Structure 1
């Protein structure tokens, strides 16, 4: 459990869901971690829990200054930066084109792309000079919606496809000093909700139905938990993957081989 011993990471969206799970696992693996999020209460709780091995930053990933602060404070505290995890993201609640309110399309599009796409780009821009010093690496949290339809509505799916483009372009541009990869989780049980401007048009589903729905969509019949993806992040963040860049690990229960529905 010391694959990341001595390394220093920043994790955006680290106060809940996959981001919190990754932050906790990185700490278990020996890393020091800067956790970036919006919930001041949760940030304070995590700081108290992990003490000197973490710093917490309250910020908005769509603002460059938040990323600059995270990088500056991380290097000030720990002396370097090895890993940047661009995990913060928002969702459209599967709202289809037909159900998108015309008077809220601009707002919804901007909200989702500002966090999911611009947030990642700004984070890398702020971090890459420090990552270059350590031959570090970048990991984006993508989605099954980066590859397949019906992983969200058209705005979310488009944003996640754009993030796949970022992984590939940045892997090309930042080589050989910095590796850039991604993890693509499938349906995962978290508290991720639709952005506020679309919540009133989202079809609500009770937790049990949602779990069965997710299980029905992948060959392994898994409704994944946030922790199920930790291994992929640890591998990509560690020296064991020093030959891997521009790659996405699809941690999705096998969606790419689902084929025709099995009647059994």
Structure 2
């Protein structure tokens, strides 16, 4: 597999994703978690403090604000996102989906895709945040402190098994064959019940997230796959985490 490196003409793009296994929750509980997450996310950066209900046209993108979060509105949005065959019954064990963004133009927009309440065997729930592709907002968010805040917000609100914030080229490098159970991001969170994070080489930073789990930040500067030292560090950290049994698939 050939991994494309970042360049001046085609900048890399970043995301943060939280993942957890089967967890039966009604739309109201998904709404509560989503509201908690949006309120926490708003404290990370002003760009992440404005969200809007999905619309058919970009010109209407800012007509229906979701901030401050309203539990009744969010619960109804999740309820509408139930999984079903067209004209057929609802698949309750597949949970609810909800997609929305912050109303910006294509390359300066963030969007959220949330799947919550699924409890089918082997099912994976998730909260996936795509960050802007370029511009001042992107540059401000593509930093360790900003992604640290985003990952903590996901961990506290969703109580996931794991969270990774990283670039897409980094993901492709970390998961070359598409079989990785857990991505090791620039910033990673691992739930406490997965096990104890072992000592990791400098400059890696390890911090608790309340009593829920552990945050791992690979480098204080922007992690890039164009830097061989960053790549070597990520491989070594993955080896140590795998050896400690921390990179297994989500189960709860």
TM-score, with length taken from structure 1: 0.29
Structure with greater helix percent: 1
Question: TM-score, normalized by length of structure 2?
Answer: 0.30
